[in-house]
Chain A
């Protein structure tokens, strides 16, 4: 069984982002970039499926600028077998990413695609669902547990009221939520080994996809800043404030 994991290069989750003064977007030059944390979880899950003998090959795919190769190297160091970069300078939206991934899935004969449920930069939460739709595959989003047996993926999903389990006939798409697993750190020997693994580079046109965005950014603003309030001395003072000043209890 061949697995695909999609990995996105995003501003590191520890960076406090700044909006550009011309309101055209968020400052990304000179900022630390990392793999989207949900995608790390997706990579970990794929590698575990290979370690269990369920998957035969794990292919990591990233889409975007040349530097996405670094993100792919991280996935390879964690244990993915090889990488594919779909290289473009176009700012890709989830629909374009899903179309490109579909083309890769069909080219490689993938049986299960695992993605992070959401990228922490655009917070779209859409690519996995879109990929499943375009392929006509079932989807198990926001997964906290995945079990594969007899051509069926049983996926436990984090939903509003708790957990829900669905059974998906493979091939399928799964998107990883926080508690699916705890991703490993790549060891130094594995980082060295990853340098020798293959990364193929493809262009959107080779995959027959027009990646042009459908959304135009009119402007990007800072949200209104919330000011720190006051510290109160004790419980009595707190209750007094809530009752008589804020009037919320």
Chain B
């Protein structure tokens, strides 16, 4: 029984959520990693150092350069016969590609698992994490996306996997990558950050994020997040969103500023180790999950906080 983990990477290397997916795969037994893209030699070498992976399959082909679902799923399907489990972190790439693989293999995917019970049985949150379902799959092969915040990532170094070059699968060319508009930030990625400072509707506009939250995040080495309300209002870009349908995070410290605490936001951050809430409404639901609450006007509190740090 061997698992194959689709590794998600960018210019900075293999993403941390993929190392959480490896942690889940290791619970099932032997695991291999898959690196597919253009000019991925360095990525493959980095992948080979991840403890828990015994072999890295590498495909160098421009067809995989932008992680499109159609070619990647065809590739995974071509490799599936050798594997009992196919896994990926529930990142934008994993969520896009793996259900396609599952359907082509006639398998019901196990989405966003938060625990591994045995080779067939897994725990996954449903209803925005308000319930945890333990489900047993009757499919002979399992296709799984992994909730990264529920599995401590394996280290980036310490392993020594073999590297095997494999060839690309056929591509039909019905989908084409056109362009990306990626947010530029010097700060850590939301899903890998130890500290997150998030703003909500109470921030009132995007300038206040820059003026009041950024300096605090800078001092704490924190990532900046946001509630759906703040993203919908256009204060910050979509990739800042924490919640049921945005990013699911579990940092050591989560600071929620001007966020009321709607169910769908709590779904994305309630597993954080320590939660701080700053809100002028003392009855806001966010205080029901906060370890430390501070009731007051954020426009007074944030400059004070900045000065005190």
A→B interface (CB under 8 Å): 11, 13, 16-17, 19, 26, 38, 93-95, 98, 117-118, 120-134, 136-142, 144, 154, 157-169, 172, 177-179, 213-223, 226, 228-232, 234-236, 238-239, 241-242, 246, 248-249
What A residues does B253 contact at CB under 8 A? 242, 246, 248-249
* B69-119, CB < 8 A from A: 69-70, 73, 91-93, 95-104, 106-112
Are A123 and B125 in contact, with the CB atoms below 8 A? yes
From B101, B128, B181, give the contact of A123 (CB < 8 A). B128
Query: Which of B36-44, B46-54, B134-142, B203-211 participates in binding chain A?
Result: B134-142
What B residues does A218 contact at CB under 8 A? 121, 134-136
Are A129 and B96 in contact, with the CB atoms below 8 A? yes
Query: Which of B22-30, B156-164, B290-298 participates in binding chain A?
Result: B290-298
Instruction: Mark B292-309 against chain A: 1 for CB-CB distance below 8 A, else 0.
Output: 111100000100110011
User: Could you name 10 residue pairs across A and B whose Cβ atoms are closer than 8 Å?
Assistant: A94-B108, A129-B103, A133-B73, A140-B175, A158-B92, A161-B183, A178-B228, A214-B139, A215-B110, A218-B135
From B98, B100, B239, B276, give the contact of A242 (CB < 8 A). B276
Q: Looking at the assembled complex, report how far the CB atom of A30 sits from the nearest CB atom of chain B, in whole angstroms.
A: 16
What B residues does A219 contact at CB under 8 A? 133-134
Q: With an 8 A cutoff between CB atoms, is B2 at the interface?
A: no
What B residues does A220 contact at CB under 8 A? 126, 131-134
Are B237 and A95 in contact, with the CB atoms below 8 A? no
From A121, A133, A215, A226, give the contact of B127 (CB < 8 A). A121
Instruction: Mark B224-262 against chain A: 1 for CB-CB distance below 8 A, else 0.
Output: 000010011000011100001101000011000000000
Are B126 and A123 in contact, with the CB atoms below 8 A? yes
18 extra interface residue pairs, beta carbon distance < 8 Å, beyond A129-B99, A166-B68, A168-B175: A17-B127, A123-B127, A127-B99, A130-B100, A133-B99, A137-B174, A138-B175, A167-B178, A169-B173, A177-B238, A178-B232, A214-B108, A218-B121, A219-B133, A220-B133, A235-B294, A235-B305, A242-B276
What A residues does B136 contact at CB under 8 A? 215-216, 218
Of chain B, the residue at the smallest CB distance from A249 is B220
Does more than half of chain B's interface fall in helix, strand or loop, or is it mixed?
mixed
Of chain B, the residue at the smallest CB distance from A239 is B308
CA distance A71 to B77 in the complex (A): 36
Given contact pairs A125-B112, A235-B301, A26 touches B131 in the complex (Cβ within 8 A): yes
Number of interface residues of B (CB under 8 A): 92
Q: With an 8 A cutoff between CB atoms, is B273 at the interface?
A: yes
B→A interface (CB under 8 Å): 10, 66, 68-70, 73, 91-93, 95-104, 106-112, 121, 124-139, 172-183, 189, 191, 195, 220, 228, 231-232, 237-239, 244-245, 247, 252-253, 263-264, 270, 273-276, 282, 287-295, 301, 304-305, 308-309
Are A248 and B252 in contact, with the CB atoms below 8 A? yes
Given contact pairs A17-B130, A95-B106, A231 touches B68 in the complex (Cβ within 8 A): no
Are B293 and A229 in contact, with the CB atoms below 8 A? yes
What B residues does A120 contact at CB under 8 A? 127-128, 244
Are B292 and A223 in contact, with the CB atoms below 8 A? no
Are A138 and B174 in contact, with the CB atoms below 8 A? yes
Are B107 and A11 in contact, with the CB atoms below 8 A? no
Of chain A, the residue at the smallest CB distance from B240 is A162
Are B129 and A121 in contact, with the CB atoms below 8 A? no
From B126, B179, B295, B305, give the contact of A231 (CB < 8 A). B295
Given contact pairs A17-B131, A26-B127, A218-B134, A123 touches B112 in the complex (Cβ within 8 A): yes
What A residues does B100 contact at CB under 8 A? 129-130, 132-133, 139
Given contact pairs A218-B135, A226-B289, A165 touches B180 in the complex (Cβ within 8 A): yes
From A11, A17, A129, give the contact of B69 (CB < 8 A). A129
From A163, A165, A223, A238, give the contact of B131 (CB < 8 A). A223
What B residues does A223 contact at CB under 8 A? 125, 129-132
Q: Looking at the assembled complex, report how far the CB atom of B227 sits from the nearest CB atom of chain A, in whole angstroms.
A: 12
Q: State the 3 A-B residue pairs at the shortest beta-carbon distance, nearest first.
A: A129-B99, A130-B103, A229-B291
Given contact pairs A123-B126, A213-B108, A248-B253, A142 touches B292 in the complex (Cβ within 8 A): no
CA distance A98 to B108 in the complex (A): 11
Of chain B, the residue at the smallest CB distance from A169 is B174
What B residues does A214 contact at CB under 8 A? 107-108, 137-139
Given contact pairs A213-B108, A236-B308, A138 touches B179 in the complex (Cβ within 8 A): no
Are A26 and B292 in contact, with the CB atoms below 8 A? no
